[in-house]
Amino acid sequence: MLLLGLLTPLLGLAAAAPNPNSPSKVKIHGVSLLGSGCPAGSADIQVDATGTLFEATFSQYEVQTGPGTKAIDWRKNCKLTLNMEFDSGFQFSILDTDMIGFAEIPKGANGQCSNVFSFTGNPQTVTSSIGLPGHYSGNFDLHSGVGIESWSPCGGSTAILNMNTACAITPTHLPALIAVDHISGKLRVKFAVQWRRCHYNLWFSGSWRSLEIGVLANRVFMFAHG
């Protein structure tokens, strides 16, 4: 597994804009990439100053079929893992995703790309996919306004976000291509996350209450809701 902790110029502490429903800081401890679509030195990760927008770019992510190609060319994938640290009492989920690339698919062939997001410790996954039936020629954008309630676990100040992107073409005897787009020279995956405070249901004063856990100046505050 390739650790890219020194690759990203913005990797490290990110000061978030003031928002009571998001942590005051988000720190990316490490990024790892593994798969045929992201060989060493071919990928980069960027995170914005708010800790809510991420972009992964791949310069050698290319799927090819047809004469002279091999099984390793017919499907590519890359698993990205982000080890994140943030203020205790918060959790986040995937809000929005984009995967931007180029495809040249002849009539009779089909291409497909997918993104699967998950959190270590949470069995739920969020999947988005796009079909590229032939004849198709040009850039594509796999966009998904996910909005699925799959949140990072509560109870700590760290979370591991996993993303697995994959592209494939069938049948394999026809010449076809899924690759980087012509403008940037890279295949790009962008995703945004949303934050919220953790809520816990506890028995309190003779009834179940939803408790909102917040952290301010290293002190823990609990806000009870009926």
pLDDT 10s digits, 114-137: 999 888 888 888 888 999 999 999
What's the half-sphere exposure (Cβ side, CA atoms, 13 Å) at 69?
20
Q: For residue 12, is pLDDT > 50?
A: no
Quick one: which of 77, 87, 65, 63 has its CA closest to 33?
A: 77
Residue type, 122: N
Mean pLDDT, to the nearest integer, of 105-122?
93
Total Cβ atoms within 10 A of residue 206 = 6
Among 59-68, 81-90, 93-102, 209-218, top mean pLDDT goes to: 59-68
More confidently predicted of 85 and 217: 85
In angstroms, the Cα distances linking 15 to 18, 24, 49, 92, 217 are 9, 6, 6, 16, 16
Q: What tokens were used for 73?
A: 């060319």
- This prediction has a pTM of 0.76
H/E stretch holding 73 reads helix 71-74
Quick one: which of 64, 101, 105 has its CA closest to 183?
A: 101
pLDDT of the residue at 80: 92
Q: How far apart are CA 215 and CA 75, in angstroms?
A: 45
45, 48, 51, 55 alpha-carbon torsion, rounded to 10°: -30
pLDDT digits (tens, 9 = 90+) for 142-199: 988 755 567 888 888 889 999 999 999 999 999 999 998 876 778 898 888 888 888 7
pLDDT of the residue at 225: 40
Reading phi first (left if > 0) and then psi (alpha if -120 to 50, else beta), residue 155 is in: left
pLDDT of the residue at 34: 94
pLDDT of the residue at 20: 65
pLDDT of the residue at 202: 52
Mean pLDDT, to the nearest integer, of 51-61?
88
Largest CA distance in the chain: 73
Quick one: which of 122, 115, 85, 86 has its CA closest to 188?
A: 115
